[in-house]
Structure 1
Amino acid sequence: MNNGLLLWVDDEIDLLKSHILFLERKGYEIITANNGTDAIEKCGQQTFDLIMLDEMMPGISGLETLQKIKDISPATPVVMVTKSEEENIMEQAIGQKIADYLIKPVNPNQILLTLKKNIHRKEIVTEVTQSSYQRNFQDITMKISNCKTYKDWIEVYKCLVQWEIKLCNTDSNMTDMLKAQKEEANIGFSKYIKNNYLKWVSPRKDLSSRDNIHKLRTNLSIQTTNDNNEDIPMLSPNVFRNNILPLLNNGEKVFLIVLDNFRYDQWRVLSQEIGDLFDIDEELYFSILPTATQYSRNAIFSGLMPNKIAEMFPDLWVSEEENDGKNLNESSLIQTQLDRYRRHNTFSYHKINDSNDAEKFLHQIYCLEKNDLNVVVFNFIDMLSHARTESKMMRELANTESAYRSITLSWFKHSAMNELFKVLAKSNYKIVVTTDHGSILVNKPIKIIGEKDTNKNLRYKLGKNLSYDSKEVFTIHDPRNAQLPAPNLSTSYVFGLGDTFFAYPNNYNYYVSYYKDTFQHGGISMEEMIIPIITLTKRKRK
């Protein structure tokens, strides 16, 4: 058994024979050196799994040796061992990216612990995570089977995302089991939505109508359409009413950040980057159908279901058949919502599509402090999903969901959004971060036939005379029942379920090969519909 090759550098190496024998019995091979020059030479001759380096040696010091070793082998972990506890020595060593720091006299178990941390961390994490997931597998399966309410589905989705993120950071072979479990959950979730969605959005329950505006004005804390304790989640049109207006009522200045096409798993990764800046209050809510920007984001900003926008503000609604941008009127829609509640809050609206937009926005950030509400939309993640579909290189870079999360995190670290959070962390804003919908990695094509004017989205279709297998989709035959616009009397909406996507029989094979394994949105899945809304408050420092 060989657990690793170590180089131990100490001018009193002969006094450490008992420690060396202990480690050799544990399966480690030890190479020794009693000065920095010899250590540097040995590092040039072979690669070590870890180096134990004495800080105080005659000739070349430990810190000088460390610098030269890092030049030769920057990835090899180095553990500094010293009698000194001087702060400046520790800081210098840490600045040169040591893996660990031990104070003499060291005992064998201390050394063994640092070896496990720095050589075997991934193996240990993989083993522990894998065993833990195996123990929880049956429990998760039971939770999926027993889901009866939207809260149950939120908890299942959070659990699956948690395990997805844990397992992706290991070498576990359990990822396929988790993927199958997630597919099973999405099958159950799709059935739940098919059975309940129209109850949630029934026009008789629309509290955004003119008849109920007084009720909403006088009690903003009412849970939408849930007066009879029904199983109805918060939906897109209620974001302002439930999460923005109450803050404004309390005299808070609010900064609303909307990340287009932002999934819960992406938020969980991003949250680790900003967790030390803010106190975080995390919730999940449901996007309306279709889970597409034209519908769900306009619903957020207007506080209305899509058909009400089209009826009340026809100049602000862009129908599917029009080629103009579907989200050119968002600022105006926000104003209509504030007007409907007879509010006089000042607000700004900005949309950021590229780095030039971002720079301009950051330059004027301090001019926005006069507003009660500032709204900014970031389009990067949506652009990334489209680029991944169209670019072979982007498919390679984001070839898995884990890689997709990683690219999102990398963008955030180097983006204006990161700078924005740092600025806001020094302000007194209440920051609300949310999205309009998520996306799902699609794999299973299903055939559909439609007329020429049928929309092009791969996860939902609307039109006349659509032909499909009704068992594979969720169909809304009368759009009025879902508060959706109906361009024609015979218009119906058809939604893809789980990881399916629509393909036309003409040129079917080409179409399938092009769109298979791409991120799409518009349909019914946990990833698209269950989305985050987060309230951030500046962390108080003592």
Structure 2
Amino acid sequence: DKGSLNQLEHLFLKDQLARTGLVDKSLHYHKIWMPEEGQKFQSRVGEYLNMDLLAIVINFVDQLAHRRSESDVLKEMVPDESGYRHAVRVWYENSWIRSVLAELGSAGYKVVITSDHGSIMVNRSSMVAADKHTSSGVRHKHGRNINAKDKSAIDIRNLDTYKLPSLGHQHNYLLAKDDYFFLYPNEQHKYKNMLKGSFQHGGISMEEMMVPIFIMDPK
């Protein structure tokens, strides 16, 4: 995870606890990337039941969306949104996290389940005029004076209004609307065929920005 924009999540969570007057609460933060890591966590979850807050981040749902565009087998298994939801349900019913949730409930924990974003199946391409230093996102890009068709994206140049960081002179952001995805002129046909019909996130559709939250009290 070195170099990732998400590598400091545990520090942000600690800071959030401090700012809300909960600095004295104990915390364990655990990020799960691979199935074996989840199974290992399940076998050790009893060690963390003395914590006031146990934060578990699971990447399976996100990984399924990303890897589907790279695998013909996954495309066959997950042909659309309904197939995506079904695949996630089958995974959950047979995964280690179901057992962990049951154990947390038995230990008296209130469990909150949510996501940092949703995803959307993209079908329409939009060409982006940008230099080689522009970010590589499919639904969002930032760089120096980058441009796309108005109907496909929101072009943010007043960064202070949106509380976005400026990373250089004439820096702006593009956020994809509806079911658009961004392409460069180079190898556009290759990437258009690869990305069309894939699940992506980073844009401003309701599917991406509105996330569920479930709060479960122990029996």
TM-score range normalised by the length of the shorter chain: over 0.9
Alignment correspondent of 1:145: none
Is contact 2:105-2:111 (8 Å) kept?
no
2:179 aligns to what? 499
Q: Cα RMSD (Å) of the superposition?
A: 1.5
* Residue equivalent to 2:5: 326
Letter in 1 for 2:3: D
| One-letter code aligned to 1:331 | H
Q: How far, CA to CA, are the matches of 1:519 and 1:423 in structure 2?
A: 32
Structure 1 segment 131-280 matched on structure 2, within 5 A: none
Secondary structure at the aligned position of 2:87 is classed as: helix
Contact 2:30 2:55 (C-alpha < 8 Å) held by counterparts: yes
1:434 aligns with 2:114: yes
- Distance (Å, rounded) in 2 between the aligned partners of 1:464 and 1:488: 7
Quick one: which of 144, 150, 159 aligns to 1:464? 144
Tell me the secondary structure at the aligned position of residue 370 of structure 1.
coil
- Deviations for 1:475-511, whole angstroms, at most 9, x for unmatched residues? 1112221111110131111111011101112222222
Matched, 1:537 2:217: yes
Q: Given that residues 475 and 495 in structure 1 are in contact (C-alpha distance below 8 angstroms), is that contact kept between their aligned partners in structure 2?
A: yes
Name the amino acid aligned to 1:379.
N
Aligned to 1:445: 125
Q: Give the Cα separation in 2 of the matches to 1:468 and 1:441.
A: 20
Aligned-residue offset at 1:421: 1.8
Indicate conservation of the 8 Å contact 1:478/1:491, yes or no.
Answer: no
Partners of 1:439 and 1:521 within 8 A in 2: yes
CA deviations on 1:51-95 (whole Å, 9 max, x unpaired) are xxxxxxxxxxxxxxxxxxxxxxxxxxxxxxxxxxxxxxxxxxxxx
Q: Find out whether 1:387 has 2:67 as its counterpart.
A: yes
Q: Aligned-pair distance for 1:427?
A: 2.3
- Code of the residue aligned with 1:473 in structure 2: it is A
> Considering only CA atoms, is the larger Rg found in Structure 1 or Structure 2?
1
Equivalent-residue separation in structure 2 for 1:404 and 1:341 (angstroms)? 37
Alignment partner, residue 195 of structure 2: 515
Unaligned runs of 5+ in 2: none
2:95 is equivalent to residue 398 of structure 1: no
Asked if the contact 1:450/1:463 (under 8 Å) is kept, the reply is: yes
Counterpart CA distance in 2 for 1:494 and 1:355 is 35
* 2:29 counterpart residue number: 349
Q: Alignment partner of 1:433: what SS?
A: strand
Q: Deviations over 1:227-277 (max 9, x none)?
A: xxxxxxxxxxxxxxxxxxxxxxxxxxxxxxxxxxxxxxxxxxxxxxxxxxx
Asked if 1:423 corresponds to 2:103, the answer is yes
- Relative contact order (C-alpha < 8 Å, sep 6+): which is higher? 2
Say how many residue pairs are matched: 218
SS of the residue 1:446 aligns to: strand
Query: Following TM superposition, by how much is the alpha carbon of 1:340 offset from its aligned partner in structure 2, in angstroms?
Result: 2.9
Q: Distance in 2 between matches of 1:405 and 1:364?
A: 29
**Deviation at 1:358?**
1.0
Partner SS state of residue 351, structure 1: strand
Q: Is the 8 A contact 1:450 1:465 kept in 2?
A: yes
Q: Distance in 2 between matches of 1:403 and 1:523?
A: 22
1:120: which partner in 2? none
Q: How does 1:300-379 map to 2 (within 5 A)?
A: 324-342=3-21, 343-379=23-59
Q: Secondary structure at the match of 2:145?
A: coil
How far apart in 1 are the matches of 2:85 and 2:147? 36
Identify, as 1 or 2, the structure richer in helix.
Answer: 1
User: How do 1:274-293 and structure 2 match up within 5 A?
Assistant: none
Equivalent-residue separation in structure 2 for 1:362 and 1:536 (angstroms): 19
Q: Identity rate of aligned residues, in percent? A: 33
Q: Is the 8 A contact 1:353 1:380 kept in 2?
A: yes
